[in-house]
Amino acid sequence: MNHSDDFAQRSAELIGAGRYMHDRGWVPATSGNFSARLRSGEIAITVSGRHKGRLEPNDIMRVDLAGTSLDGSRPSAETLLHTSLYQRFGETGSVLHAHSPGSILASRVFPGGLELSDHELLKALPGITTHETRVRIPVFANDQDMNRLTARVSDYLDRQPDCPGYVIAGHGFYTWGATVDDALRHAEALEFLFDIEVRLHSRTQGDLQP
């Protein structure tokens, strides 16, 4: 496959992911951003400000691993959060970011992070083969300074390299995978688990009411 076919193929996958996520209410009002690693080593990423449920081929652009635009378009405002993951994890082929209700609610209910355990669906996450696993999803404070936010995430991943995703408080979540499909599966599993954990928490709180 030549480089332009590769770019077209990855772009089509990101467009499909956007439609899927928008249909589920995870990327409202131009929020979210998506990327995929190209065979050339460059990154295909969404152009900033585009509606992620109605992406077209020219809404996907190329950046280098430092996040610099390679074709004159303006990449996602959160490009650094994507490129830092590609720099860190050689096997990562796609990064997805959503502003999903489950992740935002979870960040309010569990500001110190979530502990996911005893869920069969954990097996949808990379390297997990049993529900008897404990997966920690950190919650970072939101920050408009991408260098500072990226540094905080990187510092965490230095210590917890198996982390499958993270939440940004009041903002959304990031997850990644070897392919766009893998990253989408991780997104779907995490969003489901965020929702379950929030509902479990409110049930427990409700039970405690006089």
Ligand X SMILES: CSC[C@@H](O)[C@@H](O)C(=O)COP(=O)(O)O
Q: Return binding residues for Zn(2+).
A: 97, 99
Angle at 93 between CA 105 and CA 119, to 5 degrees: 40
Told to check if 70 binds ligand X by CB under 6 A, we report no
Told to check if 78 binds ligand X by CB under 6 A, we report yes
Told to check if 69 binds ligand X by CB under 6 A, we report no
Told to check if 30 binds ligand X by CB under 6 A, we report yes
Rg (CA), the chain: 17
**Residue 195: CB atoms within 10 Å:** 16
Told to check if 35 binds ligand X by CB under 6 A, we report no
Instruction: Give whole-number Cα distances, 153 to 47, 147, 173, in Å.
Output: 23, 10, 12
Told to check if 29 binds ligand X by CB under 6 A, we report yes
Number of residues that bind ligand X (CB under 6 A): 12
CB under 6 A: which stretch of 1-9, 24-32, 126-134, 196-204 binds ligand X? Answer: 24-32
**Residue 108: CB atoms within 10 Å:** 11
The correct pick among 49, 57, 155, 199 for binding ligand X (CB under 6 A) is 49
Shortest Cβ 77–ligand X spacing (Å) = 3
Rounded Cα distance, 11 and 30, in Å: 17
Q: Mask: binding to ligand X, 149-178, rule CB under 6 A, as x and -?
A: ------------------------------
Told to check if 32 binds ligand X by CB under 6 A, we report yes
The correct pick among 35, 76, 150, 175 for binding ligand X (CB under 6 A) is 76
Told to check if 33 binds ligand X by CB under 6 A, we report yes
Q: Whose structure tokens read 């991943």? A: 157
Told to check if 18 binds ligand X by CB under 6 A, we report no
First vs last Cα of the chain: how many Å apart? 65
Nearer to ligand X, 96 or 135 (CB): 96
Q: What residues from 94 to 123 belong to the interface with ligand X (CB under 6 A)?
A: 97
Shortest Cβ 33–ligand X spacing (Å) = 3
**Residue 106: CB atoms within 10 Å:** 27
| Residue ranges binding ligand X (CB under 6 A) | 29-33, 46, 48-49, 76-78, 97
